[in-house]
Structures are given as C-alpha cells and as structure tokens.
Amino acid sequence: MFKGQFKFKNASGISNTYSPGDVVIYQGKIYQSTKLNQKSPLQEPNSWKYVDTTEPFKGTYPPVNPKENQIWISNDAISYIYFYDGNSYQWIAI
C-alpha cells in the first residue's frame, strides 16, 4: 500500500509502523518495506527495498545518497541534476 512520504510519527504523534509491502517516498526515492519496521530507509536499509526515483526531489538540501540523473529543485527554484562527469559525481544546475 502506498503510504506517501515516510514519517516517523502520524498526526496523533504515535510512531508509524510500516508493514511488508508498504511503499513510501523518502528523500526523493521510492522504497518498499520488506518487513515490519519503524525506521527510515537510511537508518535500516535492510528493511527497505529501493524501487525507483521520484522526479523531481524538492527541498532546501539535496537528497542523501542520490541516484545518477536524479533531479533536485532547491527552495530558491534552481534545478539541478546529479551527474557523473567521468571523474566524480556532482550536482549541476540545469
């Protein structure tokens, strides 16, 4: 079941528990829970399966562990792409 953005707690302040098969968006990437858990895909990567990248990621800071060609739109409306130039990966304004 699609659960939207990953959240540690629901609107009532109770910790969210994700069941196997639940799908969330976390830092611009889509993950599916592989077992019952309450931790983020970054905190417990073995409990989540990477599914795909959303386009674009919006936020003050770029996503953690981006995927090549992922797009990020900063809060000041500048679009960037995560690009490998043959030597290193970097965010390039587009």
Q: How far apart are CA 69 and CA 10, in angstroms?
A: 32
In tens, the pLDDT along 7-54 reads 999 889 999 999 999 999 888 888 999 999 999 999 999 999 988 877
Beta bridge partners of 24: 31
Question: CATH for 1-54, among 2.60.40.10, 2.20.25.160, 3.20.20.70, 2.10.10.20?
Answer: 2.10.10.20
Give the integer Cα–Cα distance in Å for 62 and 39: 21
pLDDT value of residue 29:
83
How far apart are the two ends of the chain, measured CA to CA in Å? 34
